[in-house]
Chain A
């Protein structure tokens, strides 16, 4: 037996990959796809819906507090300048 004989047998070392690898690749891809689908759903629906809800809530709170503040200011003015008398109101 010569070293050259061993060299000539190198192509025989080619071996097939085990069959189960494809199953695990398939499983992993499907798992990732499902995950990206749920992220897609989250981005497409939950975030815009949440943003609109937040905006509405903000507008409501803003309006409420502003009107509260206006009422408070009004009464403070009434009290400060004694504008509660009917005459004055009528004069105006």
Chain B
């Protein structure tokens, strides 16, 4: 335990240093630095949007919007939180906003995500995706942040601006919801 502590500190400092370096480069107008930032975080933004919206086109729109906002705001970024948390928060907010907008416009009917990948993906993956898509949006979001993107409880609490206790209880409810839906689906398919 005593040996890992300095290593963690070092990696944290290194991460902070690299983050600051990246921000400085972008502020100086280095467009390649912004491209590097995009490649670091686009996956997260896309996955969160895809799980919330369940629609590929809309998710692409969210990714584009998030990085345009970021390009505009990064010059005034005050480092009150880490850049990572800042980006995650923008991504979640944008995806939720678009989800609400689409829900208001029409009865939102997302494009099935499983149909395109049926031949290549495993059966488990397909079924897990089907179950996840059946859950309410808040459960999908928290499961995506924790189980798909691997964020810590602390990071999730910063992104969603809720206490860690709330994160844990929401996650528990989401897991229970997932298990119930999974059981129903497996029974329907005769796989249980």
Contact = CB atoms under 8 A, between A and B. Distances in A.
Interface stretch (A2-10, A55-63, A65-73): A2-10
B138 interface: no
Contacts of A15: 46-47, 50
A1 B60 contact: no
Interface stretch (A21-29, A46-54, A81-89): A21-29
A21 B147 contact: no
Contacts of A21: 42, 46, 60, 63-64
Nearest to A17: B46
A14 to B, nearest CB: 5
B128 A9 contact: yes
Interface residues of B, number: 42
A9 B125 contact: yes
A10 B132 contact: yes
A10 B75 CA distance: 36
B192 interface: yes
Contact of A13 (B39, B125, B192): B125
A3 B186 contact: yes
B17 interface: no
B35 interface: yes
Contacts of B182: 3, 6-7
A13 B132 contact: yes
Interface string A74-92: 0000000000000000000
Contacts of A2: 186, 192
Given A9-B125, A17-B60, 16 more contacts: A1-B124, A6-B128, A7-B147, A7-B178, A9-B128, A10-B148, A12-B121, A13-B47, A13-B132, A18-B56, A21-B42, A21-B60, A22-B42, A25-B38, A29-B68, A29-B71
Interface of A: 1-7, 9-18, 21-22, 24-26, 28-29, 32
23 contacts: A2-B186, A3-B178, A3-B182, A4-B179, A6-B182, A7-B175, A10-B132, A11-B150, A12-B124, A12-B125, A13-B125, A13-B148, A14-B148, A14-B149, A15-B47, A15-B50, A17-B59, A21-B42, A21-B64, A22-B38, A22-B39, A28-B68, A29-B68
